[in-house]
Structure 1
Amino acid sequence: MIVRNINDFTGTKFDVDTETWSSKRLLVKADNVGFSLHDTIIKAGTETEIWYKNHVEAVYCIEGEGEIEVLATGTIYPIQPGTLYVLNGHEKHLLRGKSQMRMICVFNPPTTGQEVHDAEGTYPLN
């Protein structure tokens, strides 16, 4: 059994902060549960280009408002508390935070916990 508290992650190597988002990686590849789980803050007024070509990501918004734009189609979906989206087609997208958003993210395969987006907007396959 794994029992953790989000406050235990503050300031550790599993507390990753960038210009547009910050994320506490609550479960990672080393935990051997088959997925990783992140509590992520999307910063207000930001836009991030993302392409998870190596991962499937499920995202559940629990706070704030924003939108996701699928680059291949130009389709824009609003995000608000209660919205779930799943990038099961490895969609390249823009994620925009109109206000600060808090998102719960699940990745398969699991991440190591220190990833940041590369020049393509992707995480490496580890």
Structure 2
Amino acid sequence: MIVRTLENCKNSSRHVVTETWESTRMLLSDDQMGFSFHITTIYAGTETPIWYKNHLESVYCISGEGEVETLDDGKVYQLKPGTLYILDKNDRHLLRGKTDITFACVFNPPLNGREVHDEDGAYQLNEAPLEKENA
């Protein structure tokens, strides 16, 4: 059994911060579960272009408000607590925070831990895993 707390993961190398978001990666590829699990915050007033061409993602809104726009068709979906959106077709999208938004996210294949978006808004598959730690 694996047991971790959000607080312990936030105080470790599992916590990644960028200009528009931060993500605490609580379950990663080296845990060998076939998916990764993250608590991610999108900052208020930001817009983040994303295209997970190498991953599928499921995103559940815990708190906050914003919107996600799918770029191929221009559809805009409102995000609020209780909303789930699923990027089942490697959808190119824009994520906008009206307020800080906290999400629970699941990735398949799982992330290794330190990934940040590349110039296309994607995570690469060949990132080196984090070194094992107690988090």
TM-score, normalisation: structure 2: 0.92
Q: CA RMSD in A?
A: 0.6
Instruction: Identify the residue that residue 17 of structure 1 maps to in structure 2.
Output: 17
Distance 1:22 1:92 in 2: 20
Percent pairwise identity: 56
Distance 1:54 1:61 in 2: 22
Letter of the structure 2 residue corresponding to residue 125 of structure 1: L
| Superposed displacement of residue 110, structure 1 | 0.2
Letter of the structure 2 residue corresponding to residue 17 of structure 1: V
Instruction: Identify the residue that residue 96 of structure 2 maps to in structure 1.
Output: 96
Distance 2:19 2:9 in 1: 19
| Superposed displacement of residue 42, structure 1 | 0.5
Instruction: Identify the residue that residue 118 of structure 2 maps to in structure 1.
Output: 118
Distance 2:41 2:101 in 1: 6
Unaligned runs of 5+ in 2: 127-135
Distance 1:11 1:62 in 2: 21
| Superposed displacement of residue 39, structure 1 | 0.3
Paired residues for 1:1-126 under 5 Å: 1-126=1-126
| Superposed displacement of residue 113, structure 1 | 1.0
| Superposed displacement of residue 10, structure 1 | 2.3
| Superposed displacement of residue 43, structure 1 | 0.4
TM-score, normalisation: structure 1: 0.98
Distance 1:9 1:117 in 2: 20
Letter of the structure 2 residue corresponding to residue 119 of structure 1: E
Distance 1:110 1:10 in 2: 18
Instruction: Identify the residue that residue 133 of structure 2 maps to in structure 1.
Output: none
| Superposed displacement of residue 12, structure 1 | 1.7
User: Following TM superposition, where does structure 1 have runs of at least 4 consecutive aligned residues deviating by more than 4 angstroms?
Assistant: none
